Amino acid sequence: MAIDSKYQDDVDIILSHRHDLGADYWTTPDKRLGKGSPFSCIDSALMLLELGMETTDPILEAVADLFFSVWQKDGRFKITPSGGILPCHTAYAVNLMCRLGYVKDERIQTTLSYFLDTPWNDGGWRCNKFSFGRGPETEYSNPLPTLNILDAFRHSTFVNNEPKLDKALEFLLSHWTIRKPIGPCQYGMGSRFMQVEYPLWYYNLFQYVYVLSFYDKAKNDERFLEAFRTLQNKLVNGMVIVERNVPKLANLTFCKKGQPSELATKRYHEILANLS
């Protein structure tokens, strides 16, 4: 898909931030690839993909090279030069790399194998970092990293072909029933979750339904179908209305808060195709 001329201004705005952090491609000289959201290296690449930039574009190829430069032999990505390598960091990185078309690369296959070898006992994935203290709710996996990991796996041959992913799906489907904040980072399903957020990168109803719609186990589950109907009831004249967005993206037309989004609606049509 090529970039439609009506989105060129959005592309130009994203590109205008590529040196903000002191190095090219939205990062720092020491390769803090997740810093600067929503104009981090990860987020900017995801937005350009959403706007139709080809994965073979030199900009996105350079971004892929940056991520491969911080890939570790055990499959993890060290997207920050200091501190530990958290599973959520690797989840963000592998999800982007799969979207960039590298799912068959041996390094990405190693990363996917790493996740298959390291699920938490409830089937999802979690970090041993307790920013909000410890309690019974922190014994669960973290929903957003788990969703991002499943988003990466949907590009692979493991999709609908791996029991461990079914267990991860069951964890996320159970959250629809639990609703309360769970996991060390305490992701909940309150009023904020129910607001349609776009682009698809945070834990919200739209992202939840979109990713799960690629998995057969979810598509026939009443919990998923209830979430889908909740999303469907938010459409206006068949269009997805962006209910929540990052304020720094207010000048971008493709994801403007309170407005129908053609590209978000295109993602919704993918959901429909998955369910047909």
pLDDT one-digit tens code per residue, 97-151: 999 999 999 999 999 999 999 999 999 999 877 666 677 778 899 999 999 999 9
CA trace torsion 128, 37, 232, 273 (10° rounding): -90
Mean of the per-residue pLDDT values of the chain: 95
Encode pLDDT of 55-71 as tens digits. 999 999 999 999 999 99
What crossing angle do the helices spanning 163-178 and 205-212 adopt, rounded to 10°? 150
Evaluate the omega torsion of the peptide bond into residue 199 and state whether it is cis, within 30 degrees of 0: yes
Encode pLDDT of 181-200 as tens digits. 999 888 999 999 999 999 99
Angle at 221 between CA 219 and CA 227, to 5 degrees: 80
Q: Rounded to 5 degrees, what are φ and ψ at 230?
A: -60, -45
What pairing do the DSSP bridges indicate for beta strands 240-241 and 260-261?
Answer: antiparallel
Encode pLDDT of 130-143 as tens digits. 666 677 778 899 99
Q: What DSSP element (H or E) covers 241?
A: strand 240-241
Q: Which two tokens stand for residue 242?
A: 């962006």
pLDDT for the residue 7? 96
- Please return the burial class of 104, using the count of CB atoms within 10 Å of its CB with bins 0-12, 13-18 and 19+: exposed
Residue 151 and residue 202 in contact, taking contact as beta carbons nearer than 8 Å: no
How many Å apart are CA 207 and CA 200, to the nearest integer?
5
Q: Which two tokens stand for residue 3?
A: 């970039």
Q: Which two tokens stand for residue 54?
A: 């080809």
Residue 162 pLDDT grade (very low, low, confident, very high; cuts 50, 70, 90): very high
Number of Cα atoms under 13 Å in the Cβ half of residue 194? 12
How many Å apart are CA 53 and CA 59, to the nearest integer?
9
pLDDT for the residue 240? 98
Residue 1 pLDDT grade (very low, low, confident, very high; cuts 50, 70, 90): low
Long-range contacts of 131-134 (CB under 8 A, 24+ apart): 131/184, 131/185, 132/184, 132/185, 132/186
Q: Rounded to 5 degrees, what are φ and ψ at 170?
A: -60, -40
Q: What DSSP element (H or E) covers 260?
A: strand 260-261
Encode pLDDT of 259-269 as tens digits. 999 999 999 99
Q: Rounded to 5 degrees, what are φ and ψ at 211?
A: -65, -45
pLDDT for the residue 197? 96
Q: Rounded to 5 degrees, what are φ and ψ at 61?
A: -65, -35
